[in-house]
Structure 1
């Protein structure tokens, strides 16, 4: 935003003014404040970002503004002024008219915000019919116009489709269309891009900026991603443990941040291209509460074995059949993984990168035989995985373990974490119950937790701690290979740094091999020895990390790198990713024959598809 415009924005009457906001929850009969004395304004057409880690109070602040916290168990104090009215003084009936009409909100996970039983068109039309005096036909026409505006292809034909037929990026666009239906003065976006791929994230950010320019809507953007803040925010509010520790123009926060916590947050952000002077994976600096950085980044000692690979994958293919009609005829196939080949050595990290739908998670599951491959071969320590029977497969899984993206979904809420870690150890008859207790204590120590925590349940831990527990459970079987499937993508920047450093330390001490599946290019550059880029089920570029990042050859690799937000407000770019440029469909006709992919050599070990 131009300087003159910023000054004009600041001098205008604020759309939103939050004064001394304090929000408390009733815990065991006592009021416990979780947000304390927060004050900020949002001017017309301005974007203000609230940034901080999970638990800092940023989402509670947004829910307080919308008055969406449960009455009786929550108490909101202070003033929230919108258009000359104090929202905290309005009766609920009037507040319902404010929500969606004057202030709209986009949440992190669109699938939980959309009703799976109603079509996309009906859900957007409902917002219009609630707040505007228009007929059903007028609401439908306006809904199609909004879907067009947020770049939903063939908007008219998709009016009657259900949410599950849309991709994650498309669903988030639908939520933006719904939020903008009544032309609100203020749009609150609560982590709207956290779970999205980097290219889709870029499209959503560009879309919000474009619509903001056209409609003049003010935006309150809540995130923990400093790269996103640099891309989109005019001013930034930094929160830490429920308190506002620093506020100012985004450029000032990034270049002249005063608070140690602000500087530590910025230092922990991985920057694409920062690995040019390093040969091996690099530890992340870690945010140490409010005192700044607890350590400095150092290169990891290289433990990669040059002997025979511990994991060899050759021509791995996985296709899912599509049946239709009364007789369930085969009408097509989803070509999820096509002729994928790579190897992995002990002590090495190979990263599989690409957008959702490219086949990287399916590749990881096929290697584990959590899904059965259609063809190809997978060899672990010289043994053909696809030829193993059920008993032998159980034995093999001691050598190859998997860590999933959502640790809460991976842990049984009815089991203590000690029981969860001990379960695979006891199932594989690796020792007695007493020995399992010792192993649990040792594993918890290894991942930076206290053995006394073994008696607690998953809900008593933070997201980062739960991911550590999942790593501890995987390590209990003393594996040689760990498949980490988006294991840090949903974590805050500082927690992500801690978990990745832990994985690098364990790799070094236990000589583990990691197949690191991710869409975060900046993190991949930091932790990898080699990188494989996947597109529509195929590897389109593979090679040493320095070669792939320093000299990318495939257009898709370049596109992924161009979409990464740069944590520098002075380097904001317009339209980084073409809006509407979605990943193509991997569905093929039943008789489709996939051509064999050919590669050319760029440098030693660096291959690119032609």
Structure 2
């Protein structure tokens, strides 16, 4: 760390929002510094004030409804005293920021290459040709496959993880003195997260860059942060060296936060999932989590997928998003589908539910062939199978109350009258741990974890047998993630639900699943019982996924796998490409591994 004055100095930062005609402080007297070459992490649950702290420092809050006081000094200049024109020069140039939700940060009407090049022209005084060349270099550096051909694509053509990599490239391209990273790896799978952490660390060393890292992932904190600031409901409750906080936390809340972290390798040979510890923040305690049940293996599958392939034609080839995928899920069972962003996990889930048209294969839900069903058949199928999406805010209509949103599928299928549907919505809200009195509120009035509970309630409205959960807990902080995962296990036990649990969070997958399927470039390369796959992974890609999970222990910093040197492979193939037949070896009962050619 530098002995010179800090790059960023925050003193007594207080931010208030106008609500109901009065000002209400949401963060109070926040003070910390970040030196050149140093990484400081701000951690805490959603609603603790982490992101508001960053947005206040960047002067990105609406002036009409927010009031910021205190001092935010960047290299000695107080940002709170600068004009808006001066701040525009600071943002993107002296300070880079990576936002949590890349789709709302990227302009949908410009290509990603255009947006990267524009930032470079504005802040690094490059010509357009130089900026485009540098944009390509940065896209390759954040490991976007086939980067040259993807420069001219629009944001909607990228997966969530790929869009986040574009945002990271944009933030780092101008070589800022300070990088503010707000949950930069939340949407990324563990291997790409490890790569991004390597990239940020490399650039930090090259440029002596200061990094303010906002996250709820304590494994990432242990891996990257020199010092840690813990926030709770707008207040700083603890601050100090990361290794000291992990070794001997002083505050009850910090103890509870650390106790709730899911850790790989804690499940052993148990065939059953295990609930997450229930945290008592006041006492700083967490229980060990109760075990869940094992499904009856003699029951007929509720979902049977055979030889499923989904391909998308492009002018320069064909994307083999899903290639010859087969698996089955029984009532009361959770099959986790894991892999990197862009590997085909979400496309598999969406194809199964008829939201994407497959190229070939068969899908049977509760014995009915989905792919040959017409509109009426698909409509009937949706009473048996439902989906929980990654972003609950995007999947809820902002103009209707949550009570109406939950009742909507019941009314649409003509199952009840309006009065009965309202009663059913109230019952479902209670079932997912929310008060029925909130039914008249709108989605924006809830936290991320509460919105995800609402999405689960809506998915349960038609009493389905199968739920496809697409990254249902990925964007949630550690304690809310535990609550939602436990809720899903409770509902599975009481209702016999089958889950296809799509995720990149390996620690959650180990805790919540009965079986695991690993996807790579659209193919399943390994599938088997969770204990067998995690205890004895057979495919090199599965081993790398497990090794890439950051450990919540600063003493083991540097345990991430080395930075990849080869280019990531792309699922883009020539139009005449035919996938070769694959051979799977059964390495343990029910545990199959694709043979490497």
TM-score, normalised to structure 2, is: 0.92
Match of 2:188 among 192, 196, 203: 196
> 1:169-248 to 2 correspondence within 5 Å?
171-248=163-240
* 1:74 to partner: Cα distance: 1.5
Matched, 1:17 2:9: yes
Distance 2:232 2:498 in 1: 36
Distance 2:324 2:152 in 1: 37
Match of 2:89 among 84, 87, 97: 97
Distance 2:329 2:452 in 1: 24
* 1:153 to partner: Cα distance: 7.4
* 1:220 to partner: Cα distance: 0.8
- Segment of structure 1 superposing worse, 81-90 or 30-39: 81-90
Q: Structure 1, residues 112-142: CA drift from partner, whole Å, max 9, x if none?
A: 3333444555544544544456665665666
| Residue of structure 1 in register with 2:248 after alignment | 256
| Residue of structure 2 in register with 1:602 after alignment | 587
For the 8 Å contact 1:303–1:508, the answer to whether it is kept is no
> 1:303-314 to 2 correspondence within 5 Å?
303-314=295-306
Distance 1:195 1:302 in 2: 30
When residues 112 and 294 of structure 1 are mapped into structure 2, their CA distance, relative to the original with a 3 A threshold, is: same
* 1:149 to partner: Cα distance: 5.9
Matched, 1:360 2:352: no
Matched, 1:46 2:38: yes
When residues 110 and 514 of structure 1 are mapped into structure 2, their CA distance, relative to the original with a 3 A threshold, is: closer
Q: Structure 1, residues 398-424: CA drift from partner, whole Å, max 9, x if none?
A: 122221111122222222222221222
* 1:174 to partner: Cα distance: 4.5
- SS state at 1:386 partner: coil
Distance 1:529 1:147 in 2: 37
Distance 2:478 2:339 in 1: 20
- SS state at 2:487 partner: helix
> 1:298-447 to 2 correspondence within 5 Å?
298-322=290-314, 324=315, 332-447=317-432
* 1:25 to partner: Cα distance: 1.4
Distance 2:426 2:590 in 1: 42
For the 8 Å contact 1:357–1:583, the answer to whether it is kept is no
For the 8 Å contact 2:40–2:213, the answer to whether it is kept is yes
- SS state at 1:607 partner: strand
Runs of at least 5 residues in structure 2 that lack an aligned partner in the other structure: none
When residues 207 and 575 of structure 1 are mapped into structure 2, their CA distance, relative to the original with a 3 A threshold, is: farther
For the 8 Å contact 2:164–2:187, the answer to whether it is kept is no
* 1:489 to partner: Cα distance: 1.2
Matched, 1:55 2:47: yes
- SS state at 1:351 partner: strand
Matched, 1:459 2:444: yes
| Residue of structure 2 in register with 1:273 after alignment | 265
Q: Structure 1, residues 518-576: CA drift from partner, whole Å, max 9, x if none?
A: 11111111011111111122111111000000000001111111111111111112662
* 1:267 to partner: Cα distance: 1.7
Distance 2:67 2:202 in 1: 37
| Residue of structure 2 in register with 1:578 after alignment | 563
Distance 1:593 1:129 in 2: 43
Distance 1:337 1:89 in 2: 53
For the 8 Å contact 2:337–2:516, the answer to whether it is kept is yes
When residues 206 and 369 of structure 1 are mapped into structure 2, their CA distance, relative to the original with a 3 A threshold, is: same
- SS state at 1:211 partner: helix
When residues 510 and 164 of structure 1 are mapped into structure 2, their CA distance, relative to the original with a 3 A threshold, is: closer
> 1:428-577 to 2 correspondence within 5 Å?
428-573=413-558, 576=561
| Residue of structure 1 in register with 2:106 after alignment | 114
- SS state at 1:221 partner: strand
When residues 309 and 58 of structure 1 are mapped into structure 2, their CA distance, relative to the original with a 3 A threshold, is: same
For the 8 Å contact 1:199–1:577, the answer to whether it is kept is no
For the 8 Å contact 1:305–1:346, the answer to whether it is kept is no
TM-score, normalised to structure 1, is: 0.90
* 1:436 to partner: Cα distance: 1.9
Distance 1:432 1:133 in 2: 64
Match of 1:70 among 62, 72, 84: 62
When residues 28 and 568 of structure 1 are mapped into structure 2, their CA distance, relative to the original with a 3 A threshold, is: same
* 1:371 to partner: Cα distance: 2.4
Aligned Cα root-mean-square deviation (Å): 2.6
For the 8 Å contact 1:278–1:299, the answer to whether it is kept is no
When residues 98 and 363 of structure 1 are mapped into structure 2, their CA distance, relative to the original with a 3 A threshold, is: closer
For the 8 Å contact 1:310–1:346, the answer to whether it is kept is yes
Distance 2:162 2:395 in 1: 27
Distance 1:558 1:28 in 2: 53
Runs of at least 5 residues in structure 1 that lack an aligned partner in the other structure: 1-7, 325-330
